Each structure stands twice: as structure tokens, then as C-alpha cells.
Structure 1
Amino acid sequence: MSNVRFDDVSLAFGLKPLLDSVNFSVDAGERVCLVGRNGEGKSSLLKVVSGDVIPDSGVVRFQDGVTIGTLPQDIPDASDKTVFEVVAEGLDEVGGWIAKYHELIEHAESASALVELERVQAKIEACDGWSLNNKVDHLIKRFNLEPDKKMNSLSGGWRRRVLLAKALVNEPDVLILDEPTNHLDIPAIAWLEKQLIDFRGALLFVSHDRSFIKRLATRIVELDRGQLTSWPGDYDSYLEGKAKLLEDEARQNALFDKKLSEEEVWIRQGIKARRTRNEGRVRNLESLRKVRKERREKQGRAKISLEEASLSGKLVAEAENVSFAYEGGNTLIKNLSLTVMRGDRIGLIGENGTGKTTLLKLLLGSLKPTSGVVRTGTKLDIAYFDQLRSALDPEKTVIDNVSEGREFLTIGGKDRHIISYLNDFLFTAARARSPVKALSGGETNRLLLAKLFSKPANILVMDEPTNDLDVDTLELLEELLTAFKGTLLITSHDRYFLDNVVTSTLVFESEGRVQEYIGGYTDWVAYTGGFDELGKDNTAEKTSSKSASSDELKEVVNGSSKTEVKKVSDSPKSKKLSYKHKLELEKLPGEIETLEAAMETLQEETASPDFYTQDHAIVSEKLAELEEVERKLNQAMDRWVELESMME
């Protein structure tokens, strides 16, 4: 039986219906992802399910006794409440008594406070509140939270974790999440995925994070022009089915428009059309006109284009033994050496606060390192996408923010009227005259892209560009960046986006260490195990041959010309080397050096800006060759460490 069911539910704000007599249900144990363009009404649908919005017509039915938990899209302003108090709020009135008891037990010293403590204790016992108190304690421990921490002392990611505990504490049958991954770093997203997979109730969530959707969703439901379409199965099945549906819709619309056109020609023949025996045909034409007038066209796709500048110098930026720490703070970057060449496409991965934005500023020359040297190249035309949106004036209109007093912009060598240009980014003439402060998060990010791409650039630096963008716009942005011939530096927590755009990644590991790896996010995880494995490395001694060889491979990927393999002093000395093993050990350094040279050559070749313009077969063959060289190098280094550990 369905936990929640919509029967002919309609909802409209203004003239455009968000829900148009829709039927919809969520069954127990399902994980349903609601997708659709920005502004289609996804958040409004969630509010109907949670009871925060009453539909205009139709019925919303709930199974008897069903409970709803919600995790809102926007994190409330931080308060001075403790973590325990906020989590306990999820238990309604009894939660307030439990929170009060928790506060009193910590500070009850006076006689009056002890009397109040007894009163609160009696209230809790009267409603069997102690078992609920145990639920609060259990969730706080499970989520690695500190119960007495103040909310205003926590980062956004940790506050979202507290709010999830609050939503789960009453063990809801249906959990509603609106963009739960917004502003979370990759480790926090991975943690959230695990918690939600373990959740036994039904999930109804909105997300534009395609990796998150692929991991969680058992069914996709799309909201498009007031209608809901259900797609059982995974995200890839939805994409295939959606493409076919749009093709069928376009074909049917074309046939309808052809028939309408033929009837319009006929009616203009005059007297023949007004004869009594043709009145039925005239009424049919009127009906066709009405249907065509009421047709809701699919919102157009943004037409993002980029004004590219002339090529920069071959060297974009070079960092040599660079370290950086803010005054009185921890070292964010320690002894980093890095070379960024023209055409490089680099993604920056790390937890919030580890220094990704700081490194971008160091490479751009807007921040000076604590130690070391940063050299920048020549002919650099930089376009910078700031996640804080400081380039936008919230009081000015959309037009004024982009035009900067100009009526026409030069895009691709041609003059474009500002309204026409903004229309490419899905801003109507009326919306273009609205102040920025009135825009949604997705619209604000589209505006920032419009401003960014209105000026020539050969270096794109993008700090979290994917926040609040719908999937269609994300895919278009990916296409644009893939075709861009300049240099890309991108920080993002969108794993799918990184995989599709970058060719190498800088990973902020711990204690200021920054390591470079070939490929995108998935390649890095396959190679290292991801952040979970990094956490283990930081707390345990690296005594195995596998650990040592992994560290050395990181140095190779960083561009070291030679690798110094460290002996594992704690490894057991199981036996002496045989003559055959000694010969093998003597040959390995030369083999490793040859493989390193081969890999360096292949890396330079694949990093060339023209590499991906070649025939697909050539690109695939060269990437496979690089992968094979890496595999052989890995094996050789593992074998070297193994033989070294056998020596007395």
C-alpha cells in the first residue's frame, strides 16, 4: 500500500499550473527522485507532501499512522541552541521536555533548579519519553555529533548533518529531502548516501547531483509542464526513456500542426467553408485552435556560448615549494610544486575548508604564499566564477549586471543585443529587468555564467559552478567546457561533472598535502580508494608493501622524474633472496625508470589541448596505452618493495 498518494492534485501560483490534475504515489521502501527544470514546481510538490502547502484541488491521501520527516533545501540561520536540543525538536513536545531535562541536568545547582528538574522528569515519564531520549542519544552518536556543541559554531555541512538527525529521530515512514547535497563536500555527500541507503522508510528527494541520483534512486519521477511521468529503474533508463518520449512528442506535435495548417488553408477558401454541410469541420477547426493555444511548450534549453580569447602562453602558472597558512591558522598548503600548462583541465577535490579556493587565488597571483614561489605565464585572460557571487550586485537588474552600461555585446565576433544574449540563458525580457536579489539560486548561477562568458577568456577558473543548476543546464555547461580550448581550473563537489570535464585532479588530503592524479573523480577513487582510505592512512602506520607502493605512485603521478622507494622497516624478513631474485631486483630500477619516462611522454601527449580533437579511436588507443604503462609501473614498484622487504 502507498504511504502517500495524489489523486487529481492541482496547484498553481499565478497563471501557470505547477501541478495539473496529477496522480502520484510513494510506496514503502521506495527511493523516489523527483527531477525537472528549475522553476517547474518540485519544491512545491514536496511541500504538498509534507503538509506545508494545501493544493488548489484534488486529494492527498496518507496511509493511517504514516509519519513524515523533512530535510529542507535551505539551512536555517545558525542559533545558539545545542545539537542535542535541535535533534530533540524532531520529537515535537516531548522532545522539548527531553531537551529541557538535558539542559537542567548539566547546570542544576540551586534548589529551584532541582525542583524544575523533578517536574520535567515527571513530564517525560508520563509520556514514556526515556525511550525517545535514547533515540536522540543513539542518533547523535551514530552521526558523530557532539551533543553540547552550539549550532552557530558548526559549518554548513555539520548543521545539515544535525538537521538530518532531527528528521530521522521520530523514525518517519517517508523522508523528504530537497537538494540534500547542496554545499556539502564530497566526504559529507558519501556519508549522507550511506545513511540514506541504510534508511528503511521511503525516500522522496529532489536532486541535480547525478552521481547521488544514480546511487540512491529506485525510481525517477519527472515534473514537466505540470505533469508527472514515472520512470521505474535507474537514472540511465530514465535518460533513454525521456529521449524517446521527447521524440514521440515532437512527432505528434508536428502531425497536429500540419493538420491545423491544412484546416486553416481550407477555412480561407471562403464560401465553401461556411456551407451548412461543413459546419462540423468548422467546429473541429475551432477545437484544434483551442488545443494548440493551450499547449505548454517545453522550456527552451539555454544556449550558452563562450567568447574565447587568443591563446595564452604555454606556461599558465608554476608553483615551487609553495606553502600557505592564514595568520594564527593551520597550514592549508604545504610544500606544493605544480606546473599548469596551456590546455590543462584540472579539478580540485577536498573537504570544505581545506584550501581549494586559496590555491586558486595563489595560482592567479591574487594571494601571496607564506613561502615558496608562484610564477604566472603571459597573455592570460582570466574569467573567474566565484561561488560567493561577489561579481553580482543584488540591487541592480539582470541587464545592468551583465551589460555594464552597454546595449550591445560582442559575442563570437558579432554584436548581440543584451536582451537577446540574456534570452540564451533563459531570461525573458521581463525577468531580465528584475533585480538580482529576486532571482532563484539556479537563475543567479545562470546570470553569473552569462556575465562570465560575455568577455573573452583563455583561462577559466570556476569555484563551485554547478550549485543550483538543473541537469539540462549542467549538461550544456559540460559540453561548452569540453569544447573550450583554453585552460580550466575547477573546484566542484559534483563528481559526475568532474568526470565529464577534467583530465587530472588535485586532491587535498591532510596536513596541507596536495597530490595530483590523472583522470577525474572516479579514476582517483579507483586508484586510491577515496577519502575513506585517506583517513585510514592518516591514523595507521603504513607498514605494508601495498601502502609504500601507493605512496610512491602518487609521487610518479605528481611528475617526479625519479622515485625513491622507501624500505618498510617493520616488514617481516621472511627469507634470504635467491640468486634469481637478486638479479630481478638489480634489473627493476632500470625498468621503473623506463616506465616512468614512457608515462611522462604519454602524459604530455594526452595533456595537449589538441589531443581530444583527434579521431576517437586514436584517443582511446592512446589512453589505453597510458593505462597499461601505469599498470606495469604499479606492478614493478610493488615487486621492488616486496623484494626489498625480503632482504636481511
Structure 2
Amino acid sequence: MPLITLQNVDYSVGGPLLLERVELSIEKGERIALIGRNGAGKSTLMRLLSGELQPDDGEVRREGGVRVSRLEQEVPADAGGAVWDVVAAGLGDLGRWLAEYHHLSHAETVDTDALADVQSKIEAADGWALDQRVVETLTKLDLDGEAAFSGLSGGMKRRVLLARALVSTPDVLLLDEPTNHLDIEAIDWLETFLKGWSGALVFITHDRRFLRALATRIVEIDRGQVTSWPGDWANYERRREERLNAQAQENARFDKLLAQEEVWIRQGIKARRTRDEGRVRRLKAMRSERSQRRDQVGNVRMEVANAESSGRKVIEAKAVGFGFEGRSIVRDFSTTVFRGDRIGLIGPNGSGKTTLLKLLLGELAPDSGEIRLGTNLQVAYFDQYRATLREDWNAIENVAEGRESVEINGKPKHVIGYLQDFLFTPERARAPITRLSGGERNRLLLAKLFAQPSNLLVMDEPTNDLDVETLELLEELLGDYGGTLLLVSHDRDFLDNVVTSTIVMEGDGQVGEYVGGYTDWLRQRPATAERRGDKATSGDAAKPTAAIAASVATAAAAPKRKLSYKESRELEQLPVRIEQLESKIAGMTAEMNEPAFYQRDSAGIAAHGAELARMQAELDAAYVRWAELDA
């Protein structure tokens, strides 16, 4: 029996129905990904499922005793106090009594009357078992109940709010953008946790890798209609494309027939003879049907205002060190950023990614070492906290700042038309930005950013709250960007699709550099973990690393056996193969050190980096295989 069922549900916020005749059921153990464009109604559907909203028409049925918890997209304004208090609040009044008892019993001076009063309330509600559940939930999510909620990072706050949603042991867990502000390590942890979650899960996410890892069913909201697609993301993409093609063909056939009927009706009085009245009525019905058709929401049309080219060297850092309150953030870090580089910064929350960005941009002075900025730099900065948006201005004022038009690559464009490229209707463009959703605010910040001429683009978590279609278009835009890109992101697919190299905060002030994106870093990381911060020069790339050496030792300790003929031939050929790979890697690395290398197009540089990473991984594998066979 379904846990929650929606039957013929309508919901409107003014204008066309946001959700129309929705039929949906949620079964035990399902993991449903809820997808759709920004503003399509995903969060609204979540609130209907949780009971926070009531439908205008239709019915939402919940099986008797079903418990539903929702993790909101933003941190609630009323969340405060100790972590224990915030988590216990997920139990309602009983949770507040437990939090009160917790504080009274841990106070230096115990108010015995108040303690007895709250204790009697808890006993009357048979609530002591729930006190233990709060403790177990804090332990499971590795949270300190005594820590102040306000002092936590954004990622840790999300973990606390997840604990609050889980403490009531819900049958249905609703998660709205759960990966926002989480670092990659926390996202991996959350994936693992939710895979082991026994209840039903409904989640909204922009993180495509997270979606692919978890979803057992896709539910799409498109122009008010809710469609269910059993299976994983790949199956959804294939079947959705087939449906859209069929829909486009049917619409084209209908429009052609309507155009023919419009020609017929204009032929004059002959079309109004009695025997043709039925045809006239059908034409009126067709006109009505066409007027009610809700066309698919268009795609964002992004274009960056490029500035004149910067110098070849954009940033040069030599032996940079920086610390704060006795903690080393960066230690002995050197790098050169060339024009056209697209560099991703990876690291846990609080590891110093933003600090390193400020050092590289000259906003912070290093404690040691030297940083030189190149010539003719024009920097555009995307702030993950959207601090560059003025809350007392609307979208037009935030982008144009009093002007009627913006200039994009030498061509003036009216600000209303420019904002329409970012899917803002004139009405939404004039609305106070306090009324904009998270996705709309991100699109507005992108519009403001791209209206500034730049040759160095710095983006700190630009993917939060954007829908998949906009993410893919942003990837294309950044791939074609003629300047230099510094990108902080925890979106693994986005990093893979955009950057050509990564800088990784590895802890204790160590900063590593790797060729390629996130997946390339994962492939290289085991072979380089023991030499953090070192440059991948041709000399050290040709040597077996500590991880490979460990494999050699393990293989040597294994019992010896006689090799087959095929294995013997493989062992004979491996040294030659290793030598060839080492020679190629050395040549490609030397090629990257030549100034002319960075005059290539961005696609050529990316392909070179990807090939170098592939060969390094093949070399590492060859060393391990040689060790196994030789042992």
C-alpha cells in the first residue's frame, strides 16, 4: 500500500496552475528524484507531500500513522541554540521538553523545581526513549550536541538539520537540495548514508552524480504536469527525449492543420454556409486548444562580456605561505596560472579554498613567498553567498545599476531583453529580489557577472540551486570562455566537464596540483598521496610512487606460483611498455612547460591534460601489474 497518494491534485499561486491534475504515489523503500526547471513547482510539491500546503483541488492521502520529515533548502531563521536543541526540535513539544531537561540537568546550579516540572511532562508523554534517540542520532551523524549551531559551517548546519529530520524516524524523508554547501567528502558520506536508509526518500538536487547514485525513480514536473519515469537517470533521459520528439511532431501536425483551417475560414462567405458550421466550431475549438498549450520553458541564453586579453602569465606564486591563528592554511606553494587555464579548487569546507583564492588575487598578502599578478587583468567574481546583490534593488537595478542597457561584447542590449535571456519575465525582473527563489537569485548573479567585461572569471560555488539544463549551458559557456577561470565547486560532474586542472587543499597547509578534473584527481590521488604538494614533473612522474611501492611489497609477500605462458609473455613486455609510457609522459610534461603550449585553443589544452592523466594512470597500473607478475 502506498505511503502517500496524490489524486487529481491542482495547485496555483496565481496565473496558470503550477501543478495540474497530479497523480502520484510513494511506496516504501523508493528513492525518488524530483526534477524540473527552476520555478516548476518542485518545492511546492514537497510541501504538499509534507502537509504544509493543502491543494486547491484533489486529495492528498497518507496511510495511517505515516511520519513525514522535510529538510528545507535554506537554514530556518528560528534554528539556534545548541546542536542538541536543534535536533530535538524535530520531535515537536516533546523535543523542546527534552532540550529543556538536558540544559537544566547540565547546569552548574540545578533548579530542582523546574527540573521536576519538565521531568513530569516527559514521563507523562512516555518520552524518555526519545531522549536516547536524540543521542543515537547525534552519534550516527557524528555531531557534538553541545556545540553552538550558529558557529557551525554551512555544511555542518545542513548535517544538523538532517539529524533533526531523521530523529522522528520518518517513513518518508523529503530532502530539498541536500548537497548545497556540503563539501565533496560530506556529499560522499550523505550518498552512503541515504543508500542505507530504509524509509522512502524524495529528493531535489542539482548534483547529477548524486542523483545518478541514488534515484530508483524519476518524477518530472514540466509545465504543470507530473510524470513518473521508473528506473535510473539514463533511462529517464532516453525515454524523455523520445517523448519530446513525439510531442514536437504532434504539435507540428496540429499547427499545420490549424493553419490550413485558418486559410479556409478567410475565404469568405462560402465558409459560413450552414453545411460548414460544424467545421467553424471545430476551428474555434482548435484555437482554444492552441491558446491553452503551455510551451516548454526556454533555455537560458548566456553570453560573457569578454575584455581584452590579459598577459600570458595571469598569476605566478612562489613558495607562498599563509597561516591564521596558529593554523597553517598554505605552506610553500608555488604555481603559475597561464591565460586560458581553467582551474578547479577542491577541498573540505574550512580547508582554505576561499583564502587561497584571495591570496592568488592579491586581496590577501602572504606571510611568506611572493605572488605576482599579470598585466591587463579584469576580474569578475561570483560569490556563493550572493553578497554582491543588493536586497533593496530589483533584478533590473542589480544588473544595470541605473542604466537602461548593458554592453555585451561591444553591442548594447536593453536590460529587460538581457534579463529575458536569463529567463526573467518583465514582471519578475521588476519584482524585489527578496521574492526570488534560490535558483532565480543564482541566475541573476550570473546575469550581473556576465555583463561585466572580464578576462579572469572567479566562481565560488556557482552551481547551487541551478536546474540541470542551466548547468549544462553554463558548462558550455565556460568551455568557450576566452579568458582564465578559477572555480570552487563541490559538483563533481561540473568539475569534470569544465576544468583542465585542479588545485587540492590536502590538509596541514599542503596544496597539491593535478592535471584534469575531479575524476582525474581521484585516479591520480592514490599514486600521489605520499608526495603531497610536489610538482608532477617528468622526473618524479617516471618513478614508482609510495602507493605502488606498497603494492610491490604486498605482491612480494604473496606465495609464489608458476606463471602461465601468457603471463610470462606479459611480464617480458611490461618493462618495454613502462619505458614507453615514461618517455611519453616526460615529453608531454616538457611540452606543457613551453610558452607556446598555452596559445592553443582550450579544447586542445584540455585534451592534452586528459591524455596525460590517462597515461599516468596506465603507468601506475603497469607498475602494479609488473610487481604482481614478478613476485
TM-score higher than 0.5: yes
Cα distance, 1:29–1:633 mapped onto 2, change above 3 Å: closer
Q: Does 1:610 align with 2:600?
A: yes
Cα offset for 1:566? 9.5
Cα offset for 1:30? 0.3
Cα offset for 1:333? 1.3
Instruction: Name the CA distance, whole Å, in 1 between partners of 2:368 and 2:230.
Output: 55
Cα offset for 1:228? 0.3
Instruction: Name the CA distance, whole Å, in 1 between partners of 2:597 and 2:218.
Output: 37
Q: Does 1:628 align with 2:615?
A: yes
Cα offset for 1:491? 0.4
Match of 1:187 among 181, 185, 188: 185
Match of 1:600 among 589, 596, 603: 589
**1:101-142 residue CA offsets vs partner (Å, 9 max, x unmatched):** 3222212745xx334434444443444323222211111111
Instruction: Name the CA distance, whole Å, in 1 between partners of 2:512 and 2:369.
Output: 17
Cα distance, 1:132–1:391 mapped onto 2, change above 3 Å: closer
Runs of 4+ in 1 over 6 A off after TM superposition: 558-575, 587-593, 618-622, 637-640
Instruction: Name the CA distance, whole Å, in 2 between partners of 1:552 and 1:296.
Output: 57
**Aligned twin of 1:378:** 375
Q: Does 1:480 align with 2:470?
A: no
Match of 2:195 among 194, 197, 204: 197
**Aligned twin of 1:555:** 534
Letter in structure 2 aligned against 1:600? T
Instruction: Name the CA distance, whole Å, in 2 between partners of 1:572 and 1:216.
Output: 38
Letter in structure 2 aligned against 1:632? L
Instruction: Name the CA distance, whole Å, in 1 between partners of 2:374 and 2:430.
Output: 39
Instruction: Name the CA distance, whole Å, in 2 between partners of 1:86 and 1:415.
Output: 51
**Aligned twin of 1:498:** 495
Match of 2:295 among 256, 275, 297: 297
Cα distance, 1:369–1:553 mapped onto 2, change above 3 Å: closer
Cα offset for 1:374? 0.3
> Is the contact made by 1:80 and 1:151 (CA closer than 8 Å) also made in structure 2?
yes
Instruction: Name the CA distance, whole Å, in 1 between partners of 2:616 and 2:148.
Output: 52
> Is the contact made by 2:333 and 2:533 (CA closer than 8 Å) also made in structure 1?
no
**1:80-117 residue CA offsets vs partner (Å, 9 max, x unmatched):** 5222222222223332332233222212745xx33443
Q: Does 1:459 align with 2:462?
A: no
Letter in structure 2 aligned against 1:44? T
Cα offset for 1:369? 1.1
> Is the contact made by 1:517 and 1:554 (CA closer than 8 Å) also made in structure 2?
no
Instruction: Name the CA distance, whole Å, in 2 between partners of 1:400 and 1:251.
Output: 41
State the aligned residue count: 609
Cα offset for 1:558? 6.8
Cα distance, 1:102–1:593 mapped onto 2, change above 3 Å: same
**Aligned twin of 1:62:** 62
Instruction: Name the CA distance, whole Å, in 2 between partners of 1:553 and 1:633.
Output: 17
Cα distance, 1:171–1:51 mapped onto 2, change above 3 Å: same
> Is the contact made by 1:592 and 1:637 (CA closer than 8 Å) also made in structure 2?
no
Cα offset for 1:499? 0.8
**Aligned twin of 1:449:** 446
**Aligned twin of 2:332:** 335
Instruction: Name the CA distance, whole Å, in 1 between partners of 2:620 and 2:535.
Output: 9
**Aligned twin of 1:139:** 137
Cα distance, 1:593–1:22 mapped onto 2, change above 3 Å: closer
Cα offset for 1:244? 2.0
Match of 1:437 among 428, 434, 438: 434
**Aligned twin of 1:408:** 405
3-state SS in 1 of match to 2:257: helix
Q: Does 1:117 align with 2:104?
A: no
3-state SS in 2 of match to 1:526: helix
Match of 2:365 among 349, 355, 368: 368
Cα offset for 1:303? 0.6
Q: Does 1:24 align with 2:13?
A: no
3-state SS in 1 of match to 2:228: strand
Cα distance, 1:620–1:446 mapped onto 2, change above 3 Å: closer
Instruction: Name the CA distance, whole Å, in 2 between partners of 1:394 and 1:133.
Output: 41
Q: Does 1:509 align with 2:506?
A: yes
Instruction: Name the CA distance, whole Å, in 2 between partners of 1:3 and 1:589.
Output: 58
Instruction: Name the CA distance, whole Å, in 2 between partners of 1:482 and 1:567.
Output: 35
Letter in structure 1 aligned against 2:411? K
Cα distance, 1:592–1:259 mapped onto 2, change above 3 Å: closer
Match of 2:421 among 421, 424, 430: 424
Cα offset for 1:591? 9.2
3-state SS in 1 of match to 2:182: coil
Letter in structure 1 aligned against 2:485? L
Instruction: Name the CA distance, whole Å, in 2 between partners of 1:621 and 1:315.
Output: 19
Instruction: Name the CA distance, whole Å, in 2 between partners of 1:292 and 1:332.
Output: 61
**Aligned twin of 1:171:** 169
Instruction: Name the CA distance, whole Å, in 2 between partners of 1:70 and 1:155.
Output: 21
Instruction: Name the CA distance, whole Å, in 2 between partners of 1:620 and 1:388.
Output: 33
3-state SS in 2 of match to 1:555: coil
> Is the contact made by 1:517 and 1:558 (CA closer than 8 Å) also made in structure 2?
no
Cα offset for 1:564? 9.1
State the identity as a percent.
Answer: 48
Cα distance, 1:64–1:495 mapped onto 2, change above 3 Å: same
Letter in structure 1 aligned against 2:619? K
Match of 1:271 among 256, 269, 272: 269
Instruction: Name the CA distance, whole Å, in 2 between partners of 1:559 and 1:635.
Output: 17
Instruction: Name the CA distance, whole Å, in 2 between partners of 1:241 and 1:604.
Output: 46
Cα distance, 1:482–1:516 mapped onto 2, change above 3 Å: same
Could you tell me the TM-score, scaled by structure 1's length?
Answer: 0.86
> Is the contact made by 2:515 and 2:609 (CA closer than 8 Å) also made in structure 1?
no
Question: Structure 1 stretch 248-257 or stretch 70-79: which is displaced more?
Answer: 70-79
3-state SS in 2 of match to 1:281: helix
Q: Does 1:246 align with 2:235?
A: no
3-state SS in 1 of match to 2:18: strand
Instruction: Name the CA distance, whole Å, in 2 between partners of 1:453 and 1:6.
Output: 42
Q: What are the equivalent positions in structure 2 for 1:385-404 lying under 5 Å apart?
A: 385-404=382-401
Letter in structure 2 aligned against 1:557? A
Question: Structure 1 stretch 247-256 or stretch 258-267: which is displaced more?
Answer: 247-256
**1:343-389 residue CA offsets vs partner (Å, 9 max, x unmatched):** 21110011222221222222222221111100111232322222233
**1:271-295 residue CA offsets vs partner (Å, 9 max, x unmatched):** 1111111110010001001101111
Letter in structure 1 aligned against 2:40? E
CA RMSD for the aligned pairs?
Answer: 3.3
**Aligned twin of 1:93:** 93
Letter in structure 2 aligned against 1:442? G
Could you tell me the TM-score, scaled by structure 2's length?
Answer: 0.88
> Is the contact made by 1:4 and 1:27 (CA closer than 8 Å) also made in structure 2?
yes
> Is the contact made by 1:78 and 1:152 (CA closer than 8 Å) also made in structure 2?
no
> Is the contact made by 1:157 and 1:184 (CA closer than 8 Å) also made in structure 2?
yes
3-state SS in 1 of match to 2:478: helix
Instruction: Name the CA distance, whole Å, in 2 between partners of 1:121 and 1:156.
Output: 34
- Is there any run of 5+ residues in structure 1 with no aligned partner, and where? 530-545, 576-586
